[in-house]
Amino acid sequence: MSHKPTITDSLEFPSESRLPQISFGIGAAGLLTSAIGYFVNADQFFFSYIVSFTFFTGIALASLILIMIHHITKSSWGTVMRRIPEVFASNLWIWSIFFIPIFFGIHNLFHWSHPELMDPASTQFDTILGGKAGYLNVTFFVIRQFIYFIIWGVLGRKLYKTSIELDNSGDWGLTVLMRKISAPGILLFSLSVAFASFDWMMSLDPHWFSTMFGVYFFSIIFQALFPVLIIIILMLHRRGLLTNTIRSVHIYDLGAWFFAFTIFYAYIAFSQFMLIYYANIPEETLWFYNRLDGGYQYILYGTLILRFMLPFFLLLNRESKKNTNLLLISSIVVLFIHYFEIYLIAMPALSKELNLSWIDLATFLGLGGVFFGLFFNKFKKESMVPKNDPTMEECLSKSYHQ
């Protein structure tokens, strides 16, 4: 007679936890400090801000596509941990508020935003930028940002609310609704994230272009999501939460996904480099040339070693994906270099020499504190696990031998 698995853990995050307040406190201090940086060096402030904003927004965006893939494929492997990315994605509508400073810094960040460069009658007219004026103009840029965040905000909020409704009602028909939302959502997500990556990162150097940049951006944010999930789950376990619900087999699955997308990232990043290197077109190769000099080369080589080679060899063995210490080390290292890879994409547009600033740290702590404050504030209000999902029994029955 088969034994039906059941959840024995408490599914409620401790109400007395002060993690939201601590996170918001760090965020407030960081944002106030970085505001001083605006008056000290406005250009540095806005570049530091967009790097940190892209870092944290990428976590939420990768969470959104993960849960949509989960629904559309009727997956069971990640049901017990799905609430974490659901909460991240559900906050995208309010997180959009933090894009507003980028609107104010548009002329500091984006060379193409200066109208004299687009005016054929001007002595400063830039022929290349003039050819892109239909897309790279302030009005259309602002409109696109509203479209992106409406798409992401609606998808994230609707999927989260439906999942919570399933918790409360037990109506399995809601899983069909989540699949119906996810099917067109994946298409809208793919297009919007690709164009957002062009707007936020690639257009910082508007003379350069890469047809692979959209998928490259997706590869870096999606690989970085799994370290975030691993760290949060291990933190919950250390606090004695969900230890019998999110078990070692589920953490192993996260490690396997982490390993798989480490390889995917390396493939995409190398393909982008190789195509540009092979074509040897000056306006394309100059982008990499500027990142192989001035101190930036150490970050570029660091991405090869710390983002690919280290997690690849640490997690190559099957047993290593069960080792929480190795997973934790790999996760911390990849998130560290993930920030600097975004930094590598953006900062040479400001300075050809690597010049780390205290404003980088201030904006990172400010936005990071608010980002995780929003997460923990919502995470503690509902069940930490989707309680009535029809795939839960299969997920709890998983073993390494399946």
> pLDDT tens-digit profile of 140-161?
999 999 999 999 999 999 999 9
7-11, 62-66, 199-203, 242-246: the lowest-pLDDT one: 7-11
Distance in angstroms (rounded) separating the CA atoms of residues 221 and 225: 6
Question: What average pLDDT does range 133-142 have in this prediction?
Answer: 93
Q: What are 134's two structure tokens? A: 């239909």
pLDDT in tens, 49-65: 999 999 999 999 999 99
What pLDDT, on a 0 to 100 scale, did the predictor assign at position 1?
Answer: 43
- How much is the pLDDT for 142? 96
d(CA 44, CA 304): 27
Per-residue tokens: 281: 């077109």
Question: 361 and 51 in contact (C-beta within 8 Å)?
Answer: no
- For every residue of 72-95, DSSP letters joined together read HTT--TTGGGTHHHHHHHHTHHHH
Banded pLDDT at 252 (limits 50, 70, 90): very high
Residue 104 has pLDDT above 80, yes or no: yes
Radius of gyration of the chain (CA): 22
Taken in order 267, 270, 276, 277, is the CA torsion positive or negative?
A: negative
Angstrom CA distances, 372 to 165, 229, 307, stand at 24, 13, 23
Cα 336 to chain centroid, rounded: 13
User: The pTM is what?
Assistant: 0.95
Task: Give residue 295's identity as a one-letter amino acid code.
Answer: G
CA dihedral (121, 126, 130, 135) positive or negative:
negative
- Are residues 46 and 103 in contact, defined by beta-carbon separation less than 8 angstroms? no
| Residue listed under structure tokens 């870096």 | 220
Helix 173-200 / helix 213-238 crossing angle, nearest 10 deg:
120
Q: Is 12 helix (H, G, I), strand (E, B) or coil?
A: strand
Question: Chain-wide mean pLDDT for the chain?
Answer: 92
Domain boundaries, the chain: 209-356
Q: Is the pLDDT of residue 118 over 90?
A: no
DSSP string, 279-318: HT-HHHHHHHHTTSSTTHHHHHHHIIIIIIIHHHHHSSST
Which pLDDT does position 314 carry in this prediction? 93
The predicted structure's pLDDT at residue 281:
81
Average pLDDT over residues 286-315: 93
The C-alpha atoms of residue 235 and residue 257 are separated, in whole angstroms, by 19
Which pLDDT score, from 0 to 100, does residue 327 have? Answer: 95
